[in-house]
Amino acid sequence: MAIWNLGSINADMVYSVPHLPAAGETLAAQDLARFLGGKGANMSVAAARAAAHVRHVGAVGRDGTWAVDRLMEYGVDTRHIAVIDVPTGHAIIAVEPGGENQILLYPGANRALSIDLLTAALSAARPGDTLVFQNETNLQLEAAGLGRELDLRVVYAAAPFEAEAVQAVLPHLDLLILNAVEAEQLQKETGLSPDALPVAEVIVTLGAEGARYFETGSGQSQHFPAHKVTAVDTTGAGDTFTGYVIAGLDRGLPMPQAIAQAMRAAAIMVTRHGTADVIPDLKDVQDTVLS
């Protein structure tokens, strides 16, 4: 099986700061590092490091070929990444000592994908493959519709959150992954709690409280507690979780096992500075001792 990821690719410029800046505040950074990032790239790397076959569908500018090379080094199939005449997406990320972050995002090439690129890529998909996408590219609704037509498992990671974008793709989804704040915002817009959404499976991540899984058809839910670790950088933790969940499912793991493995991966991720470049591989996840 394969995972097809219609996903963003960014250069993450990470600034270490003594605290997150307030409105109008000028703040000197203590350090700067550049990482491969973007929610899509993070998920592709996470799924690849979780031993899945991942095919990334996306775009970079001519200034971003290094990011494509990096994805390839991490085991991601990059043949469906276009190089176009729009600057590569990038994020300016401020991280304070406790690990909390603040992000300014420029979409760039991520919002300039062509329908021809998407349809050509998915023409090679097979029933039972997984299609995942996020709210950092264009063509989300088109991808969701194609995924349903091709009998793929269609997964949406609802971030950065826009209620209208989520509602547009809900009818096509098999699995929706969102955090607690996003779930609350979606409920305000739709009047539906996570267990009542018209999606077969919903996962709500709860930060330090773990995650909750809803199987909407049966009405059953399960809570997964978080591992206790000292966080230094939470950037990319949710993407790591999502990548590991879909990789586990693609490899045939039952949902509870896929989530448990993803919880371990995300816990390890927050103890490291960086994004895609520091996502743990499957051996790390299996061997690391966590509380």
Distances (CA, A) of 211 to 118, 135, 184: 32, 21, 14
Q: How far apart are CA 131 and CA 147, in angstroms?
A: 6
Scan for tokens 């305000």, then name that residue: 188
Query: If 0-12 CB within 10 Å is exposed, 13-18 middle and 19+ buried, where does residue 106 land?
Result: middle
Distances (CA, A) of 180 to 95, 174, 199: 21, 19, 17
Cβ atoms 199, 262 nearer than 8 A? no
Q: What are phi and psi for residue 34, nearest 5 degrees?
A: -110, 130
Question: Annotated active-site positions, please?
Answer: 239
Scan for tokens 């817009």, then name that residue: 189
Scan for tokens 């509870």, then name that residue: 256
Beta bridge partners of 12: 35, 91
Which among 71, 70, 46 has a CA at the least distance from the CA of 57? 71
| Joined tokens for residue 125 | 């998909």
Largest CA distance in the chain: 52
Is 98 in a helix, a strand, or coil? coil
Other C-beta atoms lying within 10 Å of the C-beta of residue 41: 35
Other C-beta atoms lying within 10 Å of the C-beta of residue 289: 4
